[in-house]
Amino acid sequence: MKHFTKALLGAAAVVALMAGPSVAAEKAEVIHWWTSGGESAAVKVFADQFNAAGGDWVDAAIAGGEAARAAGINRIVGGNPPTAMQFNTGKQFEDLVAQGLLNNLDDVAKADGWDKFLSPVLVKAVSRDGHYYAVPVNIHSNNWLWYNTALLEANKIEPPKTWDELFAAMDKLKAAGVIPMAQSGDAWTQLLLFNDVLLGVGGPELYMKVYQDNNADAVKSPEFAKVAETFGKLRNYGDEGQQGRQWNQATGLVVGGKAGFNFMGDWAKGEVIAAGLTPGKEVGCVPGIGNQVYWIGGDVFVFPKTDNADAQKAQALLAHTMLTPETQVAFNAKKGSVPVRGDVDTSKLDACAQAGLKLLATEGASVPGFDFLQTPDAIGSIQDLIGQFWTTPSQTPADLQAKFAEIIASE
């Protein structure tokens, strides 16, 4: 699916975008990729709130972010756009804006006062050329380490704070016949794990040199070499079943006590909550091994252009509903993320969320997600590289470092 956005949008130049079929007032067909147990519970909050406000939510869930985005873009260029569709916060929807295929949300943003409760970082992320084109619905931290509390206690392991402690813990679990680290076979999760190591071992300064500055010399540095070596070492702690495994299944191994650790974003809490457990209790959380840094990510919804008045009305209602205080608190409590609104009560969120919020509020303790900094094409190239390295034991950390430097130098 790599590079699908540019290829599909090339067709948009010769396809006359139609208004789409006539729909009843406030009826909204929404494409998203939230299909796991925790995600489904979270998206139901949006559906229920929208329906309660007079809307009619038509769910169009498609498993997998790339597959969902591709389906939505195909619909747009084919003249049958959905009412709304999901993207990650960052640059993923820029081509749609450039092609004039999205409605802007300026009227809703002005009426609801977005500039009063959204941080400048989020305002920049969802606006282009002074116009709002996306609704940010959450703030995720991508670099959490999750662990099964009972499993660690049974093996006399303290929750690790450093990489050396983590490797020692995983060696102990491996010797006890327990899966040390649950990992999935999706390349995006392998890239997420790599970035966890980049932040945790290399630190935020190296992360920004690589992704913001496209500094190839930083990739060639001894510091990056240590990142590559640490990431390569982690290949020894997965299990043979990982290749066919989805991210939520990997998290489920920790939740079920079959694996000790799992690197995943804070959306993993949705799976913990769906299992009837408490994040920070039965399943513990560490907001970054080594360097504790809030790696800012999240999700947005965009609204494909249409001249249909009913569809526009549904889009405006949906954009408004997603950002009401009550929706923000309820949705993010289920999703595992934190609200984008800075004016809502977050005191009742779980212990892991509180740890994340503390980092988010600490100067110098957060970095923007690389979706904010890199184009989808560049991310696709890096993801391919990381995925190949992870699944090819013969590739050395030096190989990874050299190839990564080539990609960064070309940006």
Residue range 317-341, pLDDT digits in tens = 999 999 999 999 999 999 999 999 9
At residue 358, the pLDDT reads 92
Higher pLDDT, 7 or 145: 145
Q: What DSSP state is assigned to residue 18?
A: P
Cα 306 to Cα 252: distance, rounded to the nearest angstrom: 41
pLDDT category of residue 210 using cuts at 50, 70 and 90 = very high
User: What was the pLDDT predicted at 8?
Assistant: 44
Mean pLDDT of 205-222: 97
Write down the pLDDT at residue 105.
97
3-class DSSP assignment, residue 349: coil
Query: What is the average pLDDT across 394-404?
Result: 97
Q: Inform me whether the pLDDT recorded for 13 exceeds 70.
A: no
Q: Cβ(185)–Cβ(244) under 8 Å?
A: yes
Asked if 325 contacts 341 with a C-beta cutoff of 8 angstroms, the reply is yes
Instruction: List the structure tokens of 395.
Output: 């590739």
In this prediction, residues 139-165 reach a mean pLDDT of 97
Please write the tens of the pLDDT for every residue from 335-383. Answer: 999 999 989 999 989 999 999 999 998 998 999 999 999 999 999 999 9
Which amino acid, residue 153? E
pLDDT at 4 over 60: no
pLDDT of 20 higher than 70: no
Would you tell me how many other CB atoms lie within 10 Å of the CB of residue 292? Answer: 18
Question: Rounded to whole angstroms, how far apart are CA atoms 404 and 378?
Answer: 11
Residue 322 has a pLDDT of 98
Predicted confidence (pLDDT) per residue in 224-278, tens digit: 999 999 999 999 999 999 998 999 999 999 999 999 999 999 999 999 999 999 9
pLDDT at residue 1 tops 50: no
| pLDDT-derived band at 14, boundaries 50, 70, 90 | very low
Residue 19, number of CB atoms within 10 A of its CB:
15
pLDDT of 11 reads: 37
| pLDDT in the model for residue 242 | 94
CA atoms within 13 Å, Cβ hemisphere of 407: 21
Domains of the chain with bracketed CATH:
4-140+297-360 (3.40.190.10), 141-296+369-409 (3.40.190.10)
**Averaged pLDDT, 104-133:** 95
What's the one-letter identity of residue 75?
R
Position 26 scores a pLDDT of: 83
DSSP string, 109-166: HHHHTHHHHS-HHHHHHHEETTEE--EE--BEE--EEEEEHHHHHHTT-PPP-SHHHH
Cβ 177 vs Cβ 170: under 8 Å: no
pLDDT higher than 70, residue 140: yes
Lowest mean pLDDT among 4-13, 111-120, 168-177, 197-206: 4-13
Quote the CA–CA distance of 130 and 109 in Å, as a whole number. 12
Residue 18 above 60 pLDDT?
A: no
- For the chain, give the mean pLDDT: 92
Residues 144 and 193: their CA atoms lie apart, in Å, by 10
Q: What's the confidence (pLDDT) of residue 411? A: 83
Residue 10 has pLDDT above 50, yes or no: no
**Residues 355/285, Cβ–Cβ less than 8 Å:** yes
What is the arithmetic mean of pLDDT over 188-213?
A: 97
Tokens 């590079």 correspond to 3
Alpha helices, H only, 133-280 = 149-154, 163-175, 187-197, 204-211, 216-219, 222-234, 247-255, 268-274
